Amino acid sequence: MSFILTAKQKEQAKLFNSQRYRYILSVGGARSGKTTGYCYNILYSALQYQTRKNCGISVAIIRDTLQSVKKTIMHGSMVEVLRAESFQQVRDASKYGVHHKVYTINDTKAQILFPNGASINFYGLEDNKLDRLLGTEHSILYYGEASLIKHTAYNLVQSRAAQYAEHVKLCYKGTNKKIVFRPKILIDLNPVGVQHWTYKIFFEGKNPVTELPIENFDRDYAHVVMNPSDNYQNLSEDFKAILEALPPREKERFLYGKYQSEQEYALWQQFEIDRDRITLREVPELQRIYVSIDPAMSANQYTSDKTGIIVAGRGKFNGENHYYVLEDRSGHYLPQEWTRQAILLYDKYKADGIVVETNQGGNIVTDTINRMCENTGHPRIHIIEARVKRAKILRAAPVQRLYIDRLAHHVEAEKLIDLEKQMCSYTGAANEDSPNSLDAFTQCLTALQYGSNYNSVNLRLTG
């Protein structure tokens, strides 16, 4: 019995088979058929197109980890589609003719292979798995559950969708020229917040980093919304009941497939920042300046979380302490580079110390800074060690109070764009990326405001 597409999966297939679109997003609630629909289209593209070497195309299916992509798609959705389409698993598909409906699973290499030489390859985005993906070329890249994939990782590997392919039989009308397959980038996810890169790209038509409009957006990008209600014939009554019983916010995401507004749950609003923004010339003499670091624990320059690096100071205005956020130098750095950046900022602003969080990295950050100072002959730097005791939202709340009382000022907006985006969007939800700029900002202003007397962080001066 053949696999029967739902109406929404047919809409998904129409976008996939169009020569027009290169980037296609399928977004919606849980168990809506997004993954299964993509697997169906990928399967038949693998059988109908070939490269210039008369070999079947290569496909990459990607998730956050290799284990998850093998479990959910390689041994899950893809095998279910193959079986529904009457394909048989054999030991070596290369020994069969192209007309045979057989496949081989190579679990060691994470591949499904077909008699025509086509391969469906499965990848995780862990740091130690990336080289395997970056050294390949494919006709289709498929990012599964992109809510778990960072934009930097997506951006890094999308150039791998570059393999030329043409249809085995079909030609352009009135010619002998075979129909060419335009390399595709497919994405699916259960929607998260409106600050997520998929929303920025596919619904706002903006580059998530620069916020500039995407060129050729209408020509190259398309999306389809697919929800459980579109796939109810394939869902159990128990699962339907679970979806209906979800709390309102979770129901919006997993049943109705809606991206969530984040600003109403965030600690800051943009107008609170803008109303007290000042220029560098308006900053008074600062009594204390700190550089703060929240380092990424992974050392991959492209796929790790950002290392948060923030500079802020405290000074008197009308007899009161005011706080001035001077610069955000956060980025994807290896340890030696974020250390160098922090020391450069320490010298640039003639800072009084560098604030580091010791919960995750222990003394690694302190030791790294001290070692670089010794190696370069730099004078010893005061390190203020912060041991965090509370959740991110709780420890940010006292800093937020400075903005309510109009005691905090951002200096020169162009240096603080990414920080302000995090401040106005981070809600503490489990699916959100770690807000390293916000973390570094919070611990910096906490150190400036409370010193060692704040009960959420223990601050200790060393060096």
Q: Express each pLDDT in 177-190 by its tens digit.
A: 999 999 999 999 98
Q: Are residues 195 and 327 in the same domain?
A: no
Q: Which of 194, 222, 254 is the last residue of a domain?
A: 254
pLDDT, residue 272, reads 82
Count other C-beta atoms under 10 Å from residue 304's C-beta. 21
Q: Are residues 221 and 283 in the same domain?
A: no
**Bridge partners, residue 224, by sequence:** 26
Q: Are residues 242 and 338 in the same domain?
A: no
pLDDT at 366 over 90: no
* Least confident range of 196-205, 395-404, 444-453: 444-453
pLDDT, residue 463, reads 45
pLDDT at 139 over 90: yes
**Bridge partners, residue 312, by sequence:** 290, 325
Q: Are residues 107 and 214 in the same domain?
A: yes
Q: Are residues 105 and 215 in the same domain?
A: yes
Q: Is there a domain that residue 83 lies in?
A: yes
pLDDT cut 90: percent of the chain above it:
56
Provide the residue range defining the domain that includes 445: 265-462
Q: Are residues 246 and 327 in the same domain?
A: no
pLDDT, residue 147, reads 86
The CATH code of the domain that includes 369 is 3.30.420.280
Q: Are residues 269 and 163 in the same domain?
A: no
Q: Express each pLDDT in 218-275 by its tens digit.
A: 999 999 999 999 988 888 888 888 888 887 767 888 888 888 775 556 778 777 888 8
User: Mean of the pLDDT values across residues 395-402?
Assistant: 83
Band (453; pLDDT cuts 50, 70, 90) = very low
Q: Which of 199, 233, 254 is the last residue of a domain?
A: 254
User: Mean of the pLDDT values across residues 349-360?
Assistant: 84
Q: Are residues 52 and 161 in the same domain?
A: yes
Q: Are residues 236 and 287 in the same domain?
A: no
Q: Are residues 30 and 142 in the same domain?
A: yes
pLDDT at 378 over 60: yes
Q: Is there a domain that residue 2 lies in?
A: no
Q: Is there a domain that residue 349 lies in?
A: yes
The CATH code of the domain that includes 48 is 3.40.50.300
Q: Express each pLDDT in 56-77 by its tens digit.
A: 999 999 998 899 999 999 999 9
Band (461; pLDDT cuts 50, 70, 90) = very low
User: Mean of the pLDDT values across residues 86-103?
Assistant: 96
Q: Which of 254, 285, 318 is the last residue of a domain?
A: 254
Band (454; pLDDT cuts 50, 70, 90) = very low
Q: Is there a domain that residue 217 lies in?
A: yes
pLDDT, residue 385, reads 82
pLDDT, residue 285, reads 94
Q: Are residues 247 and 272 in the same domain?
A: no
Buried (b) or exposed (e) across 346-385, using 16+ Cβ within 10 A? beebebbbbbbbbeebeeebbebbbebbeeeeeeebebbb
Q: Which residue has better confidence, 150 or 117?
A: 117
pLDDT, residue 456, reads 46
User: Mean of the pLDDT values across residues 96-107?
Assistant: 96
Q: Is there a domain that residue 99 lies in?
A: yes
Domain count, the chain: 2
Distance CA 242, CA 135 (A): 43
pLDDT, residue 244, reads 85
Count other C-beta atoms under 10 Å from residue 35's C-beta. 23
Q: Are residues 239 and 271 in the same domain?
A: no
Q: Is there a domain that residue 46 lies in?
A: yes
Band (389; pLDDT cuts 50, 70, 90) = low
pLDDT, residue 390, reads 58
Q: Is there a domain that residue 457 lies in?
A: yes
Q: Is there a domain that residue 87 lies in?
A: yes
pLDDT at 301 over 80: no
